[in-house]
Amino acid sequence: MAEQRSDGQAGGERDGGAGAGEPRRRSARPEEARAWEDLVATARRTVADGLVVGTSGNVSVRVGDTVLVTPSGVPYDRLAPGDVTGVDLDGRQVLGTLVPTSELPMHLTVYRTTTATAVVHTHAVHATAVSTLVDELPLIHYMAAALGGPVRVAPYATYGTDELAEHMLRALAGRSGCLLRNHGTVTHGTTLAQAYDRTAQLEWMCRLWLTASSVPGLTPSLLSRGQLAEVEERLRGYGQRG
C-alpha cells in the first residue's frame, strides 16, 4: 500500500483544499506530467537492469523550481500518472500526497549545488561491493573520464540524513558520479537518460575492476592520471555535432 503523509507537513488536499497549517498542493503542469512519465520509466529500468531490488534506490528530475521524486516504499511498477510526487527546492511538498523518497536530502543537495536536472541513486551490487573496499575506484577504464575523473567513495552515514548528503557532495566535487560506502551509487546529469547511463557505466566499471582483481596471482594494469586527462580532452569532441 502506498505511503501517505499523516502529519501537518504531509497531509492536505490539493488545489486549495488544504486545512489550516497544511501546505497547499497544486495540479501537475503538462511539462511536469511528461517528466513524471520519464521518471517512472527510468525507475522501472533500474529494477529491470538489476541496479536495485524492490523499492531500494530512487530517481528525481528537476522541472524549473520543482523536483519530482520517486515516493518512499512504493514499487515502481505500481506508480501511475496520478501518483506524481514533487517538492520545491526547500523540500516542501507541492505535488501529490505520497511520501517523497527518504533520500530527498541527497537529491536536493545536488540540485542546489550543480546545474544537474536529473539524479539517479541505486544499490547496484558491484558498485556497492567496491564501496566497501577502497576510497576511490581504481582507474581500470578510461570511461572514468565521462564521470569527471576518478570516482570517489563518500564516507558512510545513515541513509536519508543531512550528513550523508554532505559526504556525497564532497565526493561529487568536480564529478558527475560517486560511490556511497556500504550503500550504493549517485549520479547526475542534464537528462534522466544521461544520469542513468552514468549509473550503468559506473556499475560496469566496478564489475570490471572486481573481475580483474579477483584473478589469483595477477594485478590489473591501471591508467595513469595523464592517460585519463587525454581521454577527457578527446571526449569533449565525442559524438554527433549539430
Which positions are annotated as active-site residues?
103
Dihedral (Cα; 225, 121, 59, 193), 10-degree rounding: 30
List, in order, residues 6 or more apart from 50 with CB less than 8 Å away: 124, 125
Positive/negative CA dihedral, 11, 14, 17, 23: positive
Q: Are 84 and 96 in contact (CB under 8 A)?
A: yes
Exposed (0-12), middle (13-18) or buried (19+): which is 207, by Cβ within 10 Å? Answer: middle
Q: Are 43 and 61 in contact (CB under 8 A)?
A: no
Dihedral (Cα; 197, 198, 202, 204), 10-degree rounding: 20
List, in order, residues 6 or more apart from 6 with CB less than 8 Å away: none
Residue 152 DSSP one-character state = B
